[in-house]
Amino acid sequence: MPTTTVTVGSAVGLHARPAAIIAEAAEELGSEVFLAVPGEEPVEADSALLIMTLGAGKGATIEVSGEDAAAVEAIAALVARDLDA
């Protein structure tokens, strides 16, 4: 399963707005993608509520994984961006 590690770029972390943007993008990809704080259970990237349960603030490390490498890279790029700007 393709996995990449990224640093949260949003100033507010993976809070409401960034989580919603990521979840919407993940849903549109049509491939399961998961987000996890290293050492913790992964959550589905197409659920804003589950993303927010990670409690990941700016600068936190997040593992992005899934079956489709392109989908993993697309979601990883969103996690790394400041989506609250």
Q: Is the entire prediction scored with pTM above 0.85?
A: yes
User: Mapped to the 3 state alphabet, what secondary structure does 18-62 carry?
Assistant: HHHHHHHHHHHHCCCEEEECCCCCCEECCCHHHHHCCCCCCCCEE
Give 5-16 pLDDT, tens digit per residue.
Answer: 999 999 999 999
Provide the percentage of residues in the chain whose pLDDT is more than 70: 99
5: how many CB neighbours lie within 10 A of its CB? 13
50 assigned to active site:
no
pLDDT tens column, 17-31:
999 999 999 999 989
Catalytic residue chosen out of the listed positions 10, 14, 15, 76:
15
Which domains, from first to last, does the chain contain? 3-80 (3.30.1340.10)
Q: How far apart are CA 48 and CA 70, in angstroms?
A: 20
